[in-house]
């Protein structure tokens, strides 16, 4: 029934698995036949504090019972409190604009860069350099900012100009010209193979860009909100970008995006906006998510989960040297390089049938993005099922 409804009435944009999930508890999902699935995807890095989290559910219910939305023509208390909380956790002197998704957040970041380039210099600067294998969103502009040819379909052209791509961090220096206003990158390329960059090369680039008055935009849509072990991957890399974007795990499941910038006075009323962005419901939910994760980090439980999860990845990597070539990633954003695409497809298929949800990244990386609050028992069961799935190949 669900498959028929979906195929008849929902626009065909995803290759779906037709399972009907009905409930979830932390990192475990249950379908309409009461089958359980260990979720090593967390909704592609979204469900940061787990499925069916009672604290978040109670916060949403309490807020929805009062005010869900009023519009940004009025001050919104949980929005202001969330912006304050983000500034405190980041350790940066920033102001935040709230949107509804990662793509919208990245659009906002590009607009900030463009206005900076228009108003800061005698001659306009507007060009943005990104990296090959990057992913920045699905809108026309953020698709263009994405350094992967497969996303640049002629069906959606013409695309906005002003974007170029470099293969490596070291290539950026020679690509900068008089019209370059910003460099935009992910510190760990989520869709590009879960590939972290070296800390030293990022710090060197950040220092160089600061000296040249070129903005550094760090897309933390996937790496942000403790996914790499710290609140921001930027904190882990010990850099202070001009602009940071967040989404995914920030809302624990509700749609929210955020643009953080040290250029706190760059926008004026009318420069940017969002009807739904930062409304009562999503910001109240996000406040609860950050409160949970802040305490979870402070107790050491997050670090323990990361260490334990990493030990299980190492064990399965060592068990199948004929299938996996390397381990990649940081924190609870992990990947295993698979020898070929066909084998990866088989692992993903077998895993689903075995009751563990996993993801693909790039051409041949098995990507694991578990719920941040995942328990040792769930980790054990998930890797047992994954092991069984791999052993069938």
- 179-198 residue pLDDT tens: 999 999 999 998 888 989 99
Alpha carbons within 13 A on the beta-carbon side of 96:
26
According to the model, what pLDDT value does residue 363 have? 87
Task: Summarize the confidence of residues 315-342 as an average pLDDT.
Answer: 96
Domain with CATH 3.40.640.10 in the chain: 56-298
Mean pLDDT of 236-261: 98
Tell me the average pLDDT across 266-271.
Answer: 96
More confident residue, 195 or 281: 281
Q: Please report which confidence band the pLDDT of residue 387 belongs to, taking 50, 70 and 90 as the band edges.
A: very high
Indicate whether 393 pLDDT > 90: no
Supply the CATH classification number for the domain 2-53+300-391: 3.90.1150.10
Q: Is 352 a residue whose pLDDT tops 90?
A: yes
DSSP 360: E
Helices (H), 22-170: 42-45, 54-64, 77-90, 102-119, 140-145
- What CATH number should be reported for the domain whose range is 56-298? 3.40.640.10
The pLDDT value recorded for residue 34 is 96
Rounded mean pLDDT, 159-171: 95
Provide mean pLDDT across the span 263-279: 97
> What does the DSSP 8-state code read for residue 92?
S
Task: CATH 3.90.1150.10 in the chain: give the residue spans.
Answer: 2-53+300-391
Predicted confidence band of residue 80 (pLDDT cuts 50, 70, 90): very high
- Calculate the alpha carbon distances from 316 to 283, 319, 321, 327 in Å: 39, 5, 9, 10
């Amino acid at each position: 029934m669900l498959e028929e409804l979906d195929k008849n009435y929902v626009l065909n944009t995803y290759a779906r698995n037709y399972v009907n999930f009905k409930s979830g508890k932390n990192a475990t999902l249950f379908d309409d036949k009461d089958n359980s699935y260990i979720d090593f995807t967390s909704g592609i890095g979204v469900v940061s504090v787990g499925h069916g989290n009672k604290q978040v559910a109670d916060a949403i219910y309490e807020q929805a019972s009062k005010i869900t939305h009023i519009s940004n023509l009025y001050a919104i208390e949980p929005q202001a409190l969330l912006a304050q909380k983000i500034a405190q956790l980041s350790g940066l002197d920033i102001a935040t604009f709230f949107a509804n998704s990662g793509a919208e957040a990245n659009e906002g970041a590009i607009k900030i860069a463009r206005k900076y380039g228009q108003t800061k210099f005698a001659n306009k600067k507007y060009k943005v350099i990104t990296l090959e294998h990057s992913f920045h969103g699905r809108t026309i502009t953020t698709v263009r900012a994405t350094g992967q040819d497969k996303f640049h379909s002629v069906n959606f052209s013409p695309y906005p100009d002003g974007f170029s791509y470099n293969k490596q961090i070291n290539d950026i220096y020679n690509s900068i010209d008089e019209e370059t206003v910003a460099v935009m990158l992910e510190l760990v390329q989520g869709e590009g193979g879960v590939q972290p960059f070296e800390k030293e090369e990022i710090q060197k680039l950040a220092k160089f860009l600061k000296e040249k008055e070129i903005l550094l935009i760090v897309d933390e849509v996937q790496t942000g909100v403790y996914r790499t072990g710290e609140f921001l991957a930027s904190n882990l890399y010990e850099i202070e970008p001009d602009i940071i974007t967040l989404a995914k795990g920030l809302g624990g499941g509700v749609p929210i995006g955020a643009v953080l910038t040290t250029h706190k006075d760059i926008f004026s009323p009318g420069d940017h906006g969002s009807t739904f962005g930062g409304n009562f419901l999503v910001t109240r939910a996000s406040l609860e998510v950050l409160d949970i994760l802040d305490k979870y980090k402070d107790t050491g439980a997050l670090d323990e989960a990361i260490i334990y999860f990493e030990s299980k990845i190492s064990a399965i990597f060592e068990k199948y040297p004929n299938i996996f070539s390397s381990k990649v990633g940081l924190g609870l954003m992990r990947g295993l390089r698979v020898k070929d695409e066909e084998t990866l497809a088989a692992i993903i298929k077998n895993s689903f049938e075995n009751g563990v949800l996993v993801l693909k990244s790039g051409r041949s990386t098995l990507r694991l993005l578990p719920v941040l609050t995942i328990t040792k028992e769930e980790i054990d069961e998930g890797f047992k099922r994954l092991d069984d799935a791999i052993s069938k190949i």
